Chain A
C-alpha cells in the first residue's frame, strides 16, 4: 500500500511546463525527499498533491484518494507546512492551533487535549498565550509543524521546512521530523535544496530538475551511481584536462564545471598519481586536487550538469529572505 502514487503528472502554466510527466510512489511510513534547485517544480508538485493546484494532465492519489475526485478526503489525510509562513501573527499560538482544529472539525475536548500535547512536543507550551508576532523564526516553524499534525494526518507535507533557519534550530527540527516518522509512522514528503537535509532525513530522494525527475533512489545508491570516490581537480586548464583524461578506462564519470573537474571512479588513490603525470605531460597546471566520498552535491552535479549552489543564489530566494526579515 502506498501513501502517495503519482502517474504521468504534468502541470503547464501557459507555454511553460513546470512539472513534466512525473511518476513515482511513496510507501507508507517512508520519508521521501524532492531535491532540486529553486524553480525546479518542487512546490508545484506539492501544490498539486495537496489539491491547491489542478494538474494539466496525469493522475495522483494521496492515502488512496484521488487528488481530483476526492479533494476533501485528501485534505483530511494530509498536514502541510508551507514554504512561506502561514500563521496568523496577531493571534496567539494556542489560538492558531484552535483555529486549525475547528477547521478540521475536531471535537472540543479532544482538540484542547491534543493542542497541549503537541505544543509540549515542540516545546512551545509555556509560550502558548503569546502573540505569534513575538515568536522567532524557529518557534514559528515548530508551531506550524505542530499545527500540521493536529488533525493526525496520514501524510505530512513539508515544503522547505528549514529554509532561513539557523543551523542549531535546523538540527532540532530534523530531530523532531525524524521522531515523528519513527514514533507515529507518518509518511513524510519534503522538498529541500539543502543536500544535508535530504541526506539526513530521507529514505529515498528524487532529484528534480526543470520539472523532471532525473534520478530517484536512496541516498546511498545515488552516491554509488557515480563511483566509489570523487576526485575534484581545480585547474585553469580544466577543459583541456577534460579532453586529456576522459579516455582513461577507470573513470566512471567526468564533468567539467568552470575551473573544476569532477571525476567519479573506484579506488581513486591508485589513479591520482597517473592523472597528475598526464596533466604535467600536457603542460596543464593544477591548482588543487582532492579525493572524497561522493556527496549528494556530486550526485546533483552528475545528473543535472550543474551545481545546486549556483541555482541557490537566485533572485527569488533572496527576495523571500528579505521579506522574512522585514516582517
Chain B
C-alpha cells in the first residue's frame, strides 16, 4: 500500500504544481458548457427537464472533463517512459501491479478534482443539486469514470512508444466515447441504431449516474449504471495491469 500511496502522491503533487495544465484542461469543458448551454438553452426544450438544456448537459460536461483528464493522466506514462523516469520505478523492488495501481489512483484523483471544479462552476451557472446524498452518488460515478479511464489510458500507453499516436487516440477513441455517451442529448430520442451504440459506450452509464445524482432523474436506472460502470472499471484495471506488466523500455 505504501508504494501505491507513493506513486499516487507524486501524481497529485505534479498535478497541483502545474497550474497551466490545470487551467488548460478546464478550457474545453467550460467552452462546451457556455456555448452549448447558453447557446441552445432557449431553443432546446426537453420534456421533464426543469433545469433546461443547460441543466441537462452539466453532468455530461463534468463526465467529459473527468474522461479527458483521466485518459490523459494514463497516457502520461509515455512521457515518463521517454524522459526515463519510468525506469527508476521499474527497477525498484516493487511489483508492477503496485506501480500501475498508484498511477491509476493518482490519475483518477486528479480527474475527480477536475470534475469537481466544473461542478463548482456549474453552481454559478444555475445548477441546483437535489440532495447531499445525490452529490455523493455523483462523486462515486466520477471516481469510477476516473479509475476506469486512467487504466484505459495506461493500457494504451503501454502499447505506445511515443506521443505520435496521441492525436489518433484522441480523435478516434476518446471523442467518439464522449460524443456517443448521451452527454449532450437524451438517449430516448435517438434512432434505435444509434441508441444501441450509445448503450455500448461505458461513459453513457457514468453520465447517467452523475445525472441521477445531481438532477434526481435519469433515463437509465442508476443501479444498472453502477453495475455496468463498476464492471467496466474492474475490466479496465485488469487489462491495464496486464499490459503494463509487459511494458519494456
Contact = CB atoms under 8 A, between A and B. Distances in A.
B84 A85 contact: yes
A91 B13 contact: yes
Contacts of B172: none
A168 B249 CA distance: 32
B18 interface: yes
Interface string B72-92: 000000000001110111111
B118 to A, nearest CB: 24
B94 interface: yes
A82 B87 contact: yes
A204 B4 CA distance: 41
A245 interface: no
15 contacts: A52-B87, A76-B93, A82-B88, A86-B84, A86-B88, A90-B13, A90-B17, A91-B14, A99-B6, A100-B92, A103-B93, A104-B93, A105-B2, A105-B93, A147-B88
Interface residues of A, number: 28
Interface in B80-126: 83-85, 87-94
Given A50-B91, A72-B93, A75-B91, A90 B84 contact: no
A97 to B, nearest CB: 11
B3 interface: yes
A-B pairs with lowest CB-CB distance, top 4:
A86-B84, A103-B92, A75-B93, A102-B6
A88 B90 contact: no
B14 A90 contact: yes
Nearest to B99: A103
B128 interface: no
Interface of B is mostly: helix
B231 to A, nearest CB: 32
A245 to B, nearest CB: 49
B159 interface: no
A103 B89 contact: yes
Interface string A58-81: 000000000000001101101010
Contacts, number: 61
Contact of A99 (B10, B90, B249): B10
Contacts of B248: 53
B101 to A, nearest CB: 14
A80 B91 contact: yes
B71 to A, nearest CB: 20
Contacts of A102: 2-3, 6
Given A90-B14, A95-B13, A104 B92 contact: yes
A287 interface: no
A89 B90 CA distance: 18
Interface residues of B, number: 21
Interface in A71-128: 72-73, 75-76, 78, 80, 82, 84-91, 95, 99-100, 102-105
Contacts of A89: 83
A51 interface: yes
Nearest to A96: B88
Contacts of B90: 52
Interface string B1-30: 011001000100110011000000000000
Contacts of B10: 88, 91, 95, 99
Contacts of B88: 82, 86-87, 100, 147
A89 B2 CA distance: 22
A82 B85 CA distance: 10
Contacts of A72: 93
Q: Which of B3, B91, B248 has the most CB of A within 10 A?
A: B91
Interface string A160-185: 00000000000000000000000000
Given A75-B93, A327-B83, 16 more contacts: A52-B90, A52-B91, A53-B248, A82-B87, A85-B83, A87-B84, A87-B85, A90-B14, A91-B13, A91-B14, A95-B13, A99-B6, A99-B10, A103-B3, A104-B92, A147-B88
Interface in B214-249: 248-249
Nearest to B88: A86
A82 B91 CA distance: 11
A100 B10 CA distance: 11
A144 to B, nearest CB: 9
Contacts of B84: 82, 84-87
Contacts of B2: 102, 105
B158 to A, nearest CB: 16
A73 B249 CA distance: 21
A53 B247 CA distance: 11
A208 to B, nearest CB: 21
Contacts of B249: 52
Nearest to A50: B91
A177 to B, nearest CB: 20
B85 A88 contact: yes
Contacts of B89: 103
Contacts of B14: 88, 90-91
